Structure 1
Amino acid sequence: MLTVSPSKCEASPTWAYALQLLHDPRAARIDRVTLRAVLARRGVAQLADTAELLASELVTNAYRHSTGPATLRLRALPGTRLRVSVWDANPHIPPPFDKSRGALRPVPTEADRGRGLFLVCHYADAWGGYPLGGDFFGRGGKLLWCEVGVQTVDRTAAA
């Protein structure tokens, strides 16, 4: 169902981890379990709750709005920060990742969906998205990403 690929550059304290997911409704669950294991192994388990929410929403968005596989990538950044990115085959960048941050529309209370990416924007320190040509492993699509750090986790816990 999936391919897991850890990588580490010995010259740098950063690391990266990629998880390839089939188009499957269980993808978000697999992503959450994997993310927690990776962050615990890397000694940044304090990021797990917030990072799990963010990654789960991005992977769920990829499952719902594309018809093929997705790739989750976790990358450590300096200062106990984490970048979570998800690639999928659909090139459409959804709001608010499409730079329409000032035009966020409220989701009706009775709506069953539509809050996931807004949660990502609320809990992440930074986020973005961009379409990809055929240069991403020969595939097009888009990449949505967000970043979280220890300060974000502390702020979330205080809320």
Structure 2
Amino acid sequence: MVGVGDSALASTPGFAEWSFPAEAGAVRTARTLVRDTLRDWGLDAVTDVTVLLVSELVTNSLRYATGPIGVRMYSRAGRLLQVEVSDPLPDPPRERAAAHDDEGGRGLQLVALASRRWGTRPGVNGKTVWFELSLPPRRAGEET
């Protein structure tokens, strides 16, 4: 995936990874894949917020970077969902203070407010923006 190295997690249950060309359809495709995967994992409780945040980050990648966009998500110990969006632009995103009538500039504020925590890290060929969401406790007998 762009911006991160090869993953030892690739064959782990609760792990998914995709790469998209930097084209307008990438946002819709990412939303669909994230939604379907979280449904398969039984994580309906965090689906809407995850899809919204992935959509914001993939849109930012499309707006500012050229080249492939990577999306990776995995469950950490069944308590957290880690989501990463990578692109080939090395510059980290900057949170802006959008004015009331601005049409943009709220994506990273949304990520900061809706996630447990978030951040960026440089990669070999770009950067990764990540966020974590707390997962609801599993009931006895449910898979992780």
Q: Give TM-score, length-normalised by structure 1.
A: 0.75
Contact 1:121–1:127 under 8 Å retained in 2: yes
Q: Percent identity?
A: 32
Cα distance, 1:107 vs structure 2: 0.7
Quote the residue 2:128 is aligned against. 143
Cα distance, 1:45 vs structure 2: 1.4
Quote the residue 2:107 is aligned against. 116
Quote the residue 1:20 is aligned against. 19
Cα distance, 1:131 vs structure 2: 1.5
Q: Which runs of 5+ in 2 are unaligned?
A: 1-8, 137-144
Cα distance, 1:117 vs structure 2: 1.1
Structure 1 pair 8–45 and aligned structure 2 pair: CA distance change class (3 A): farther
Q: CA RMSD in A?
A: 1.7
CA–CA distance in structure 2, aligned partners of residues 52 and 80 of structure 1: 18
Matched letter for residue 125 of structure 1: R
Greater Cα shift, 83-92 or 109-118? 109-118
Quote the residue 2:68 is aligned against. 69
Contact 1:7–1:16 under 8 Å retained in 2: yes
Q: Which runs of 5+ in 1 are unaligned?
A: 1-5, 97-104, 134-139, 152-159
Q: Give TM-score, length-normalised by structure 2.
A: 0.82
CA–CA distance in structure 1, aligned partners of residues 82 and 100 of structure 2: 31
Contact 2:35–2:47 under 8 Å retained in 1: yes
Cα distance, 1:23 vs structure 2: 0.7
Matched letter for residue 124 of structure 1: S
Select the structure that is richer in strand.
Answer: 1
**Per chain length, whose mean CA-contact separation is higher, i.e. which structure has more relative contact order (CA < 8 Å, sep 6+)?**
2
Superposition pairs of residues 10-159 of structure 1, within 5 angstroms: 15-96=14-95, 105-133=96-124, 140-150=125-135
Matched letter for residue 87 of structure 2: D
CA–CA distance in structure 1, aligned partners of residues 33 and 78 of structure 2: 22
Matched letter for residue 150 of structure 1: L
Query: Residue by residue, what CA displacement relative to the aligned partner does 1:114-148 show, whole Å, maximum 9, x if unpaired?
Result: 11111001100010101112xxxxxx100000011
